[in-house]
Amino acid sequence: MSAHLLVLPIVLPLLVAGLQLLLGERRRRLVATLSVASCVALVLLAAALLMGVSGASAGDGLTAVYRIGDWPARFGIVLVADRLSVLMLLLTAVLALALLPCALDRWQQPGGPVQPMFQFLLMGLNGTFLTGDLFNLFVFFEVLLAATYGLALHRPGARRVSAGLHYIAVNLLASMLFLVGVSLIFGVTGTLNMAALAQLIPTVPDNTRALLHAGAAILGVAFLVKAAMWPLGFWLPRTYAAATSPVAAMFAIMTKVGIYVLLRLSLLLFGSGAGPASADFGDTWLLWGGMATVVVGVVGMLGARDLGKLAGYNVLISSGTLLGAIGLQHPAVTAGALAYLVISTLAIAAFFLLAGMLAPDDETEATALLEPYDPTGEALYADEDEHRATLPAPVALLGMCFLVCALVLAGLPPLSGFLAKFALLAPMLETGAGRGATALFTLVVVAGFCTVIAMCRTGIQIFWADEDWAFPPIRLGEAVSVLLLLGSCLALSVWADAPLRYLAATAEQLHAPAHYIRAVFP
């Protein structure tokens, strides 16, 4: 496989975005065609890279390192493809392609350069997953954030502008922390290349190691904001609920950017090879912070009366579960966490689309409010009659999609959500999983049970109890996107063996960072 393939997932959406800006809104059909071609090409590129890394053993794993300008990796820009980065590339491309029918259905009307911003977002995401140094990680991080600012404020109303400005302020603060943390790390080590840092951290003098740890902690806080760990994730449910449904669905992968970086850096820089003074740095904070995030997500989900916020709190539960799994630093748990990352991203994106289909998008606080629970049950049966209720075909389709989405999010058998949670939870019962594994296991099981309660309550009220619930007209593009996302979850339920083996090899590779270092510095 040619190393030049690594630059295409970054250059392609950049070129497409530039062409779309030149074409403007008058040639919307051509702009839409470019979006489709770009997303299809990204899926094919990611699939080609995945087949390349799958052909290597778990020990070799890295198939390509691209040094831009052929500069030495310690000084130049380097792109690295391993099993984890290619997995994230493929997940991003599949999610973008699945959301494209809904996005084009909603964005064909004039309303700003939304499709170019979507391509810039893909460029930033792909660059974040492929970059091999912290400075370019910051560059790509800012590119994707700039794109999300525009998407979050698309078709602004009072509610959307308020939540969007809040989101921008929080992320600007996170960017400042990112720069401070990177500056401290560079001041101690003299490099920002990840592989070089992994080589240097064990040799850092004791008198400057505290400064290195301070820089790493500040950098970690910046990504914990993006991963929405409690108490840093207070902004997420409101922001995601206020965005349009295709934007919120695409944002389902944004927290996974923080998860990806924390997983990469914790194992590469502060794994077992970092020396006794730096090994496992920050793992305890990730474990207990992740568990606190799960608790907050469960409480918020049980109290949510807005469909968008209900989906947002599911994001918090997913993020907290993954943070806790990273904190355990166990290869088998990491493999299960990667499976859960993929499935939860697809299912939550589908749920955001369903939330937009089940309630009108009028940007008011009264949108999609669910009635509070009535313990007497009188409201549920007040107008019950003897005839059998029937549902129109589109509403029945929505109900089936809602049911599948609820089963996947709750982790109930026989769907892929159960397989992912089982792969995540089973290794936690092993004695070598580490302290706190039992507590995290219990919390994840309780969170799944509470998800069943919250989703059942919501589904009963929408599709059964509330006869006056107004279902808006269903757009064809929205229905196609939901079916593609849920179809991907169902496909992973049937063909689970090969993906799980790939994820197990990915976890082995992550816990053996020496192979990453040798690939960058042969």
Which residue numbers in the chain have pLDDT < 50? 57-60, 110, 363-368, 373, 375, 377-391
| For the chain, domain boundaries | 3-374+391-520
Residue 66, strand partner residues: 79
Cis preceding-peptide flag for 231 (omega within 30 of 0): yes
Beta carbons within 8 Å of 67's beta carbon, 6+ residues apart: 73, 76, 77, 78
Radius of gyration (Cα) for the chain, nearest Å?
23
| Total residue length of the chain | 522
Q: How far apart are CA 105 and CA 109, in angstroms?
A: 9
Question: Residue 66 belongs to what H/E stretch?
Answer: strand 64-67
Report yes or no: 415 and 488 within 8 Å, Cβ to Cβ. no
Task: Tell me what pLDDT residue 345 has.
Answer: 93
User: Which of 314, 300, 243 lies closest to 99 in space, CA to CA?
Assistant: 243
Question: Residue 78 belongs to what H/E stretch?
Answer: strand 78-81
Task: Tell me what pLDDT residue 104 has.
Answer: 81
Please give the distance of CA 89 from its chain centroid, rounded to a whole number. Answer: 12
Helices (H), 426-496: 437-460, 476-494
User: Which of 363, 410, 12, 324 lies closest to 161 in space, CA to CA?
Assistant: 363
pLDDT digits (tens, 9 = 90+) for 190-218: 888 888 888 888 888 888 888 888 998 99
